[in-house]
Every structure is written in structure tokens, then in C-alpha cells.
Chains A and B, each alone.
Chain A
Amino acid sequence: MSQKVLDALRAKFGDAVVATESQHGDEVALVKRDKLVAIATWLRDDPAMAFEVPVFVTCIDLLDWRPVKAPGQPSSTRPAWDNVDGKAPRFEVCWQLRSFSRRHRLRLKVALVENDLKVASLTPLWSGFDWQERETFDMYGVEFQGHPDLRRIYLYDEFVGHPLRKDYPKEKRQPLVRRSDLVGDH
């Protein structure tokens, strides 16, 4: 569909585009963290790209993730996807962009290792990403640098941890209030 976006991206930024993928008409580009803002700015401002619509931001926790071999395909490992400076990434942050005028879309991804969860915020470029970056911070603890107001958005300030991480215990609760007359409880 918009393979030409990926081609243009590669032609312009070369090595900063670590890997690309096209699946079911969705184009995905994994880019280097320090080139994210330059790439995103170009995607927004270049008249041939014109990505004016921010669709969503989210994060993928790759803890225990194993590539699944699709039937009939030689291999579905994604080597370029699997390391950031030699380390296996724990999270992928992705921004979905869309262009109404050019009728194409693109998902930008940045891979992060566990103890360095910092990435540039794209809110200064598309203000529509504001609350969703806060949500991603709330749920996964990704720190969006340059975000104007990076606070929790859904959970209360007393909450400790980030519940959508795969290693957050499923049944762990952090109550704000409990009855005082419950026997043997709190």
C-alpha cells in the first residue's frame, strides 16, 4: 500500500531506520531512538508524507515474547528487532500516524531496554498524543522526554508500579480505602 513511505524513509534516513515491516497493509518502521524526532518532524512536514493525524501511542511489553513461526514461511524471527546495542529490548513504543491528504499510514516504533525507558515525546509535534503518552507512562512507565505534563492519567498518585507490564502480578491490588469492620482484613 504505502511501501513508498518506507522506501522514502529508508532513502532519506538510511541507518536510522533499523528495520521495516509490511503486514496486511500496515507499514511499520523501527527507528533509532535518537533519530525519532528528526524522522517524525520530517514525516509531518514533508509535503509527500504529510502525516497530519496522530492516531494512537502505545507500548508493547516483550517480556517472554518469542517469535511465532508462521506456517509456510521460512522464519519469522526479526533479528534487527531483537537487539538494541547488543541487548534484547524489553519494550516497543509505537506511534501510529496517518495522512488523510496522502491516504497512507505508518507505525513508528522505538525499542527500549528495560533499565533505560526514556524516549522523546512526540506531543510537541502532534498535540493529540498528549493524553495517550500519559497513559503509556501510567501503564508501562515509559518516560516521554519533553512531554509538557507527564503525570499519571488513569491511576491514582498513590499507585506504585505500572500495571500493564507483563510482570505486574495479576491479582495485586492497591486499595485506597477498605472497611474498618471487616474481620481479619486490613
Chain B
Amino acid sequence: MLELVTTKLEDVANWGRKFSLFSYPFVTACCGMEFMSVAAPKYDIARFGAEFPRFSPRQSDLLMIVGTITEKQGPALKRVYDQMAEPKWVIAFGVCASTGGFYQNYHAMPGADQVIPVDVYIPGCPPRPEQVLDALILLQERVARRDGHSQLRLKREKIVLEQARAREDD
């Protein structure tokens, strides 16, 4: 019975989360132009509740990696990610953030997921705003289904903790 209540409560919380994603745009390159376009009235990401960019990772739960990540930026990206509160989600915006794109050389990281986990990848150089909105809807579904990477991680940690407790009780 208690489990049913907490599950339902979490569903309500996730319903809230999915319509109020606070994004932290980690904008490093030309994809930023397309990010502005999705954020601006024509495509209007506000319709999906994710219009409010926070300029501190501590206040946001959606990290948008917009543009090329260089090897030199890796530690900064990891630090930004680590500063965000759980549960958090990550979108790799554009091929550069997803795979390194056309940069196959000494300076570009072959995808931001070399350093932090990513939930949704958006291909395109840069992606069309519609693709970004599509990715956001995909992410909202994942939030509601509770299978964002940090939600899964929390679940895993909870299970591990419970198993440890059960062993102690024995």
C-alpha cells in the first residue's frame, strides 16, 4: 500500500518535472544560433515548459550541450554536470556534441558522452528547431517513464542500499 502511494507521488512529481525542465545551455559553438531560434517566439520552446535558461547549473535540471566540446573543455563540462542537483537530464545538441561531428582531430572530443552521460542525442549540423522540440518531447516521455540516466542511477543506488540493509538485518 505504502509503495503504491510513493509510486503515485513520484509520478506526480515527474509529471511536474517534465513540464518544467530548467535548462542550462552549455553553448560553445555555432549550434547556439539554432538554440536561440528554438528559444525565440517562432519555435517557442516555452510551449513545452523548458523556456527558462538558468545561468547556474545548480538551479537547473536539464543540461543542453550545444556545440563542439574540445578536450580542453572536458573538465569544465564535467564540473558543470557534477554541480547540477539530481535528478538531472542531458541533451547533446548537434552532431558535435553527440559524436564530435566532422571534427576528427586532436582537439575535438568525440562526443560529450566521453565525459558525462547523455539521455537524448540530436543529430544535425545544426539540428532544425523541430528536431530539438522532438528531442524535448522524447525526453519528457523518459522523465515520465522514470528512465532518465540519473533516475535510473538513483533507482540502482536505492536497490543496492536496500540489499545492503537486508544483509545487515539477516
Contact = CB atoms under 8 A, between A and B. Distances in A.
Interface of A: 154-156, 163, 168, 170-179, 181-182
Contact of B110 (A170, A172, A173, A181): A173
B107 A179 contact: no
Given A179-B114, A179-B116, A179-B117, A174 B71 contact: yes
B74 A176 contact: yes
Interface residues of B, number: 16
B117 A177 contact: no
A178 B115 contact: yes
B113 A179 contact: yes
Interface of B is mostly: loop
A172 B106 contact: yes
Contacts of A155: 72, 107
27 contacts: A154-B107, A155-B107, A156-B71, A156-B72, A163-B105, A163-B106, A170-B104, A171-B104, A173-B106, A174-B71, A174-B106, A175-B109, A175-B114, A176-B71, A176-B72, A176-B74, A176-B75, A177-B74, A177-B78, A177-B115, A178-B74, A178-B115, A179-B113, A179-B116, A179-B117, A181-B117, A182-B114
Interface in B60-94: 71-72, 74-75, 78
A186 to B, nearest CB: 9
A131 to B, nearest CB: 17
A4 B23 CA distance: 61
A171 B113 CA distance: 18
A172 B105 CA distance: 7
